[in-house]
Structure 1
Amino acid sequence: MAEPKRRGRLTVYLGGAPGVGKTYAMLGEARRRCARGTDVVVGYVETHGRPHTEQQLEGLEVVPRREVEYRDTVFTELDTDAVIARRPDVVCIDELAHTNVPGSPRSKRAEDVELIRAAGIDVVTTVNIQHLESLNDEVERITGVRQRETVPDEVVRTADQIELVDMSPEALRRRMAHGNIYRADNIDASLTSYFRVGNLTALRELALLWLADRVDDALGDYRRAHRIEHTWPTKERIVVAVTGGVESETLLRRGARLAQRAAGSELLVVHVIAADGLRVDAPARIARLQQLAASLGGTFHSVSGEEVSEAVVDFATAANATMIVVGVSRHGRLRQLFTGTTGDRIASLAGAIDVHLVTHDEVSRSTAWRRPALSPLSRARQVAGWLAAMLLPVASTLVLQALDETHQLPLAEMLFLAGTVVVALVGGLLPALAAALLSFLALNLFFTAPTGRLAVAEPANVVSLVVYVTVAVGVATVVDRASRRAADALRARTEAATMSALSRSVLTGQDTAEAIVARLRETFGQVSVSLLRRDPTGWSVVAAAGGPCAATPDAGDTRVAVDEHHTLALCGEPLRATDRRVLEAFATQTSLVLEYRRLRAREERAATLESAEATATALLRAVSHDLRTPLATIRASVDGLAHGADLDPDDRADLDRSLESATARLERLIDDLLDLSRVQAGLVRPRLAPRSLEEVLPLAVTGIDGPVRLELDEDAPMVVTDAGLLERVVANLVANAVRVSAGAPVRVLVHALADSVDVLVVDRGPGVPPAERERMFEPFQRLGDTSHGGLGLGLAVARGLSEAVGATLGAEDTPGGGLTMVLSLPRADVARPEPAGAGGAAGRSSSSDTGGAP
């Protein structure tokens, strides 16, 4: 029988962005294998005209490509049949995610690779992280570019070997600027769009995280394949076992400190729930632990288990943990002597996992003993049970004596046992025990010799009576426990349904104070429920269901504190102690709703004040900056006219024109001041509306004294902005760029992203060091600019007005020298909340003396 053909191995060179050197690395591997005597051919390689890549290709055998004609144009593709016919040991195939030209035998190059591997040929290929199908949406949000050519993650994930080709964003941009990736005429556009530092950093992180997941998967597969159950300390993973008790926060913080000692370590918090689902800790306390774990950088996990120590160790083993943090037992020494401690049991089961015992303030404090509830049954059933306990033994005795069965002890025991079971089902444990005792006395008096006396003549009857009492007590205990568990299960199911409804309301955002009190009234069947708030003058009702039941918390039948200022008051049948847990969950939910209300109101007020302050500050700076020039012109013109009696008509006309122009300019500035007063009063807001950049940008660059090149794409999407304020911002930026560019043309570009549109103002000036870029947006910062006519307010004004209309303004290096100002505007076709900012002179174009930052 012939052996099955070996499937070819797949090696993938994975990169974070074009130009990091994947093809170069693949060809380098091909040359090394050739030097070792391996038969290697190149099936398809795209050099993109890069000289270093072309040098790597020299000396390697290249399989001729197949020509495909499509729409009167001839394209070349990988010739899969020729590669299989050549039957090399290894074939190098570039661009795994490539889509073949229509008319090819297969639609995707990945399908060609699978066919070649099926023929037993090893394949070495390349792919960029942005071409993976699962990351397509993330890449589009980052770069604004939708990748049309993708490959399923499974193709790359199941590769025999994955090599990450990495390069820092700065080094990649230097390669681009040196012309090692694209042609010179594409360098500026690429560096200011796709190859921006932020984009490259995000893509690099995506590649590292995706490969890290692949490594973890491979390690897990290897451990499972080799049945390795003990942990491998690949990195520090610390598991903190919490009970939900008061000491849990101490354990969690100690575990977080241990995790911080090792870089890259993980903190996992585990809480064990009883497998029957009936024993649940206080939801409020568990919620606090979840919030604390998140704030400390850990993750919270709830697991189910019959035995706490086994569940904790199983979780730690599955997580490949290196340490378990557990608290010292709170139980007294006597109990520890007989039952042991959870920490000891975890240490005995942990194996190679370290166990860290943490002491706390609750050590050796015996928990207060609480008398268990006598019965979960209602009062009516308990009364019925006691009556049955008294009457059934008497009735059974009378029936047996009427039947003259005084010598049939087994029959009597069975009848009395059945009565005891009936009593247990009706009234619970204590009535059943009383029935068993009365039945024992009746059996002794009437059915064992000598009758009529509490004595037993025959030893066999003694054994029979003892067995009867034992069985009766055991059956009564089991029946009572089953009834308790049934009641607990019903209550747990009700609580779970209530908690689920609360969770759904949180996730769907439907929770309000009114909804919570209405749901609370419905859940507990109360007459009315009120949420009360304590003010300096007393209590007031925030929300009520069924009418306000109380003006103060003391007037309610049941009350629970929400926070230090709010209390829930319930009017109706008092709640049982077992219902308090659900009531606390409602109180926690109410607290979250109130906190959300406060935060939302505070955020709205802060956004309004911040936007108003930014606009007011920007306009004040602009006005104070621009007032000097028209005032000086007016004064000089007035002085000339007042003392120039001998001026000729032409000079007088020039002074009149200067006076008129300066007066008009001063009038516009006064209008700005009036607008500012309206802004501070909250009466003026930016007129935000969808605007086309084709309407705004040409006006912004018109009248700029210097070479400006506007490169505006007609397909650029519309933006949400105030046209007048945007025009002023762009005019300031362009004027600044012209002043520092020393005659070099200033380019104004537009780049569309997924949720914004960037307006780029590119200059060829001296640039600004990265450490100084934020400072140049502050008032009176000129950073070496010695030109006249400005006080260093231009960029401060531009930044303030940008924030007022919901835009952002930043700076980046211009490849080859200079500075690029990046103004990001929200797209009109992306839904977003309207900013609560205000602006002056909205919808009206205004000019500005653009002195200031470079």
Structure 2
Amino acid sequence: MEREENERPDPQDLLTFAEYEESKKSRGSLIIYLGYAAGVGKTYSMLSDGIHAREEGTEIVIGYVETHNRPETDVLAERLEAISCWIQQYRGISLREPDVDLIIQRKPDVVLIDELAHTNAPGSRHTYRYQDIEDILQAGISVWTTLNIQHIESLNEKVSLITKVPIKETVPDTFVAKADEIRVIDISPEGLIKRLLEGKVYVPDLAVQAVNRFFAKENLLALRQFSLRYTAQYSDIRMMRLIKTKSSSDNWPASERILVPIRPGPNAENLIRAGYRLAYRLDAEWTVISVIEEKDTDLPPQEEKWLISALDTARRLGATIIRYRGDDVAADIIRYAKRNHITTILMGKPKGFNVLFSPVYRIIRGARGIDIILNDSRENDKPIPIPRQIGVRIKEEYISGVILIGIITCVNYLLTGIISSDNQMIIQLIPVIIISLLFRRDVALVVATVSILIFDFAFVLPYYTFAITDWEYFISFVGYVVIALIISTLATRLRHIVPQIWKSEAQIEAIGTLSQALADSTDRKEVFSSLIEHISRIGPGRYAIFTAGKTGVVILAQHGDIDLTEKESSIAWWVLVHGQSAGRSTDTLAGGDGYFLPIKGNQQTFGVIGFWFDNPEEMLSADNKEIYDSIASLGALALERVKIK
């Protein structure tokens, strides 16, 4: 009996497998022809397989194929029906893109679309071609496509290091992992180089240059290894998941949880890719955490750009993202890891001067029972200086400290002989207290040290030397430093915590008030009215809630004058159909003026919220988008409740 119990599949695994199988009924299948470089024969193989499948009765059309004027590939392409491409004029050049609407309207069994990693022409529905393919798959049409190994997101850094060629176009690993089949198109490096030199891949002059650079034999060997290893890993993960649904007679280990802490820097994105590769190998949950200290609240533009880019990559790769505001990076990361039962922490290896100031070693010491992996990103051999942590910068804080010290020193000089030196010491403490209250700890510490040295030099016997004859002064000087650290620490925490408390209270009040209003709603009209009323309190702008009408979307509730253009209406309709956000500050239909968010329940999308902010750059931050998602989720829950009634 016990043996039978142990051999039963895990219910959660069965549920996951059942949900996957259910989604397959309405979704097209995805086959990726994967190669390690251009010229291995991906497009040729895809077309050849398409012709064979058509002969067996499958309806196959070409949505987009790039033959590069290779005669043998052109011959194959001519044997299949091709759907007209969408042409976009850009800077005097005609750019061809698959016409997603025509493909969905034509609705073949299979459509062939080349170059999965392609970035679409400006004005396209989506920024990237894989997003177009996702739309086609959701319409129930199967897609066969091609991809080179260097364009897979998590391998981007490693390939760039080997080939010394930057790769700008990538596909998220999460999309590739959805493939029903990956067909590796392989050829020996010697065979590929021969094809190059014969002009079958590039024209002869370019072929020679290519062989000497990207297509060097050692590069091709490495890329080929990446391709075969990635495919084997993909197959292994699929096999393990299938085994779990059949039997659990083996003792499966507890779920692995990986934490990837990042800081604003050029290597943050590479660290996230390394985190994804580790999570994929272990089939583990993974989280990216960013702890921004109070002193880093206003990041320089470049650091802000690095951070946003890294978090965007994490989202594409399917990570859970946690953003903290704190005053101790190491302590906050350790606290989060222990509370959430993290099994492995992956961090960047400190370099250069950063070795002295990095929180990495404190995390290693404090994260007992948690495996630590240090990732060495070799993309940037030169260490990136972190000015806030190294030395004294000529900034307003330090200038203010010097000015205050100068003023107080002059006052003390005028009071020499009038008051005792003990009272002068108290006066000399004034700039330390002021700076500690206003600025960071490192500034307070510097000001305290400089103030001590000046007082010792000017007002303690023997004068105009740094010698100390009365050791009571030394004890007082130590007290200076301690007071500066205590005051600055408390003041820093207050400056950080108070705004966070105000912000949290405002968010809790807004969500709580909305929840109460939605709980009191008895029908759809009341739900939409409550939603638009509370959305209008977010900030200055115009807002509307849409739902499906007879010929498109219709406005159910609004705040402000909404001049709905055909373009904005089509974006709202797309969001309603696909249940994904689109419009401004997204990768989908980004040319719109508004930001559109679905009110999505478990079974259906009830409507769409449109946001037209007066200050979109500020209001569409990552933190604010999480609030908007919460509002939409609350609305969906309320609509499901009144629907059941």
TM-score > 0.5 by shorter chain = no
Larger radius of gyration between Structure 1 and Structure 2:
1
Q: Which has the higher contact order (CA 8 A, sep 6+)?
A: 2
TM-score scaled to structure 2, two decimals?
0.36
TM-score scaled to structure 1, two decimals?
0.27
